[in-house]
A and B are shown apart, each in its own frame.
Chain A
């Protein structure tokens, strides 16, 4: 069964600093990978997705992620953090043939300091 590991349950950065949130997946075949963001007491919003079209994926709000098959990783980055980026971020995986069912990582809470 596929699984997702997010390294670091909490990440803290200063406003304007680089954001790096780590995600590694375990799957026997290249999966579909997603990053979602969740603000307190809200649902999940899709930031970006990888579906084998391009390894570098650009998403909303200046976020991007790179699929590295050799490292089984899909890390999320943003060059310059903004206060409004403070939220919880979930990496998720879905396999072809699974009707879009998502398996989530444990989440990373991003704190942005002024």
Chain B
């Protein structure tokens, strides 16, 4: 009964070759997030969706894009991956809102991306 599912778990892609990571959820949460976690570092937020509203973090490279076609699915697109994009990518969901105190985030198992 996995609640946040990421596919694939492991992905190897070539330098410069576009890659898409996927995330689905069965929780019906309105907020979905993508975090990047490089080796031995803390997760860092790339962007989030509040319903259909896309919110980019100021320092997220333009190379990273996201799509959320419906409540359940969210995709992370890396247009031209560089070696420095090798990392674990974590998808998370929550029912958070501007005044909602319930900000607990549920994480998927992550996709470990290797750029060669």
Pairwise interchain contact A99-B48, C-beta atoms closer than 8 A: yes
B112 at interface, CB cutoff 8 A: yes
List the interface of chain B (C-beta within 8 A of A). Answer: 4, 6, 31, 33, 35, 41-45, 48, 50, 55, 88, 90, 92, 94, 96-110, 112
Chain A residue with Cβ nearest B108:
A43
Chain B residues with Cβ under 8 A from A107's Cβ? 41-42
Binary interface encoding of chain A residues 29-50 relative to chain B, with 1 for a CB under 8 A from any of its CBs, else 0: 0001010100001111110010
Chain A 62-93 interface 0/1 with B at a Cβ cutoff of 8 Å (1 = within): 00000000000000000000000000001000
For the residues of A in contact with B, the DSSP-based class is loop
Residues in A with CB closer than 8 Å to B110 are: 41-43
Which of A41, A90, A96, A97 contacts B42 (CB under 8 A)? A90
Binding site for B on A (CB under 8 A): 32, 34, 36, 41-46, 49, 51-52, 90, 94, 96-107
